[in-house]
Amino acid sequence: MTQLKTDFSYIDDNYNRIIYEIGDAVAKYGRSDEKIDIMAVTKTVDPAAVNHAVSLGIRLLGENRVQEYMSKKEFYSGSADVQFIGHLQTNKVKYIIDSVSMIQSVDSIKLAAEIDKHAGRIGKIQNVLAEVNIGNEESKSGIDKSCVKELIYQMSEMKNIKVCGLMAIPPATDPERFLCEMQQIYIDISAENIDNISMDVLSMGMSGDYIEAIKYGSTLVRIGRGLFGPRHYP
């Protein structure tokens, strides 16, 4: 795969800014004793740039598209932890099940069953998050907030899935309202202490709203443009 740029100093600058802003936010919102994971969202980003971000200390990579991931994964640093965050079709699960540590975008029992089947085939317990369409937006995937608890209970009974929490992409309009709502859903489900459910991860917040997401309890922020700059589509 062709390297798009050889000077990655802009990534250094962006990374340092992100680290500073997150540190400021955790102090401001009383979360200094908690760890906030930073995920580099790698959609359309050249592997050389991704590996540079890994060298700075980024541990998590977020992949959106199966085909793109399959074309890039062999070029990634071996120290990277790759998770899938995009909409996942059931017929594509088999291609990624052996190489991603978590699938964040589980939004149906049909998809969960397919993940469970393929994870069982290779003797793996697959970590997953339930994706919530918190704004009920037709343009976004995710399960309706009224159905998320039922989905989690159903997944808790699967032998080769481990539910680790929730993921959401709030609407661009009034995001704090929806981030706050997601935090409450996360707290409510956590309080039920469901067997086989850890509820350790609340994945929300992207380049435009990760500071607000930290305010409302996010444990993992997914940053693409803010780290790598505007996307360079092929």
Q: Within its chain, how far is the Cα of 230 from the centroid?
A: 19
- Residue 36's nearest CA partner among 15, 50, 22 is 22
List, in sequence order, every residue forming a beta bridge with 197; answer none if it has no partner: 163
Average pLDDT on 23-33 reads 94
- 234 confidence band (pLDDT: 50, 70, 90): low
Q: Alpha-carbon distance 146 to 138, whole Å? A: 16
Helices 148-155 and 109-121 cross at an angle (nearest 10°) of 20
- The token pair at 190 is 């956590």
- The token pair at 166 is 């929730």
Average pLDDT on 60-70 reads 98
**What is the predicted pLDDT for the residue at 126?**
98
Q: Domains in the chain, ordered, with CATH?
A: 9-228 (3.20.20.10)
- 72 confidence band (pLDDT: 50, 70, 90): very high
- The token pair at 229 is 């700059």
- Residue 50's nearest CA partner among 85, 74, 66 is 74
Average pLDDT on 56-71 reads 97
- Residue 137's nearest CA partner among 105, 173, 104, 86 is 173
Q: Look at residue 207 and tell me whether its pLDDT is greater than 80.
A: yes
- Placement of tokens 């980024």 in the chain: 58
Q: Look at residue 6 and tell me whether its pLDDT is greater than 80.
A: no
Q: Look at residue 185 and tell me whether its pLDDT is greater than 80.
A: yes
Q: Look at residue 124 and tell me whether its pLDDT is greater than 90.
A: yes
pLDDT tens digits along 125-175: 999 999 999 999 988 999 999 999 999 999 999 999 999 999 999 998 899
- Residue 225's nearest CA partner among 207, 203, 205, 209 is 207
Indicate the pTM of the whole model.
Answer: 0.94
**What is the predicted pLDDT for the residue at 2?**
46
